[in-house]
Structure 1
Amino acid sequence: MNATAPARKRALVTGGNKGIGLAICQGLLAAEFEVILAARSIDKAKTALEKLQSVGRASLRRQTLRERNENRVHPLILDVADDESIERAAQDFGTHFPQLDVLINNAGIYPDEDVNILTIDRELLDRTMNTNTFGAIRTTQAFLPHLSKSPAARVINGSSGLGALAGIAAESPSYSLSKLALNGATIMLAAALKPQKIAVYSMCPGWVRTDMGGTSASRSPEQGADTAIWLATAATPDFSGKFFRDRQEIPF
């Protein structure tokens, strides 16, 4: 009887169409994952897929990286600020895939230009919390039936040093509060999902050169993605409920 190759692990990355999210997708493909790239529109997802499939045109034995990637990365429409979109995405996922091994809640916004804690209005606070915090919670809830089918599922929440108690900033009010709350959600989700052996982590990518971080940031998207990829591939369940930067635990 011929031995069969082990099935590839499967990861879903929200906001996977650009910046850190796209770099995470690229790193997971290199780690031999099957990747579901989630974006708010199919056009954005397909454009990102084309970027991933064009990486490394040099031949790798009999196949190019483009050919290797084409069957391992899939688009999914998912707007984390919209519950109906989240539910549709979870249903769509379930019709095509048997289980989910890693969920990376990467999607987020930073709308705090020209405001501070003394001037920000409720609408902006609501919008940022809805996307950065409630979106990650609702996405985790919706995909939980698929995560539960994995023998060792992981949820990775994209947080920030601005969400640490020692790092919150009055000049980034909605973003800081949303990431502070997301870190709290990580602790609660880790405790709630421990009986199901689902690990939950928060990670800070650092200051990264993206649309959000700007061109003056000190890190590349690949450097920002590194800790998320490490958590997805190598971190142990003992680290569940903790906060990481540069593969090291940091205080909440």
Structure 2
Amino acid sequence: TNTTRFHIQAKMTMKTNFFGTRNVYLELLPLIKPQGRVVNVSSMASLLGLEACSLELQKKFRSETITEDELVGLMNKFVEDTKDGMHIQKGWVNSRYTVTKIGVTVLSRIHARKLNEQRRGDKILLNACCPGWVRTDMAGPRASKSPEEGAETPVYLALLPPDAEGPHGQFVMEKKVEQW
């Protein structure tokens, strides 16, 4: 089988979903005011896909001490592992999109932890969320949610009151924290 197309798509999907999210956050971080809210759009696919990864990868992605550099290394390793079509044998789920969204969810956990360490007094809350299956160009007309319904969880997280203690560093679906 020709793995070139899968590899190129993996590289582009990673560049957009994971590295794009990371780059925007790193640029905007200095501008985030106290009691600010950061909402990264991930996907329920990250939660489901995590379960399909090898136990070794699951352990790394669930680690409370994984660093951003380690995560970036894992995301780059996935893209490399797709070059020869060995990604499944190396423990990855067989979905470019899913792996990038696992990355976004873990990145959100890491950045929330960093905010606790570096800007604790600012009470910034940062989370990843799934908007659900939304009728967009990507999901198509048969998706179960309207764009307005899909916006509910991200908007809920963005508008958490200034005195809110959480959620923070969580993955949220349907306005509920999901166990990562």
TM-score by length of structure 1 reads 0.49
- 1:183 counterpart residue number: 105
* One-letter code aligned to 1:137: R
Contact 1:157-1:201 within 8 A present in 2 as well: yes
Aligned to 2:6: 121
- CA RMSD of superposed structures (Å): 2.1
Pick the aligned partner of 1:153 from 36, 42, 47: 36
Larger Rg: 1
Say if 2:20 is the partner of 1:135: yes
Is residue 156–residue 202 contact of structure 1 (8 Å, CA) maintained in 2? Answer: yes
Q: Which runs of 5+ in 1 are unaligned?
A: 1-117
Paired position in structure 2 for 1:162: 45
Of 230, 239, 242, the match for 2:167: 239
Greater relative contact order, per chain length (Cα 8 Å cut-off, separation 6+): 2
Q: Is the 8 A contact 2:37 2:160 kept in 1?
A: no
More strand per residue: 1 or 2? 1
The one-letter code matched in structure 1 to 2:103 is A
Task: Quote the Cα distance in structure 1 between the aligned partners of 2:110 and 2:93.
Answer: 25
For 1:120 and 1:187, the matched residues in 2 are separated by: 31
Cα pair 2:171 2:178 within 8 Å, conserved: yes
Q: Aligned partners of 2:52 and 2:156: how far apart in 1?
A: 23
Distance 1:208 1:222 in 2: 9
- Relative distance call for 1:216 and 1:170 in structure 2 (3 A) is farther
Unpaired runs of 5+ residues, structure 2, are 54-91
SS across alignment from 1:121: helix
The structural deviation recorded for 1:155 is 1.0
Equivalence for 1:248: 176
Equivalent residue letter for 1:144? L
Moved more, 131-140 or 226-235: 226-235
Report how far residue 206 of structure 1 moved: 0.9
Aligned residues: 132
- 1:207 maps to 2:133: yes
Q: CA deviation at 1:167?
A: 7.2
Query: Aligned AA for 2:155?
Result: I
SS in 1 for 2:166: helix
Contact 1:161–1:167 (8 Å) recurs in 2: no
**1:170 Cα deviation after fit:** 5.1
Aligned partners of 2:112 and 2:168 also within 8 Å:
yes
Q: What is the TM-score of this pair, normalised by structure 2? A: 0.67
Question: Quick check: 2:17–2:101 contact (8 Å CA) kept in 1?
Answer: yes
Structure number with higher helix proportion: 2
1:220 and 2:142 aligned: no
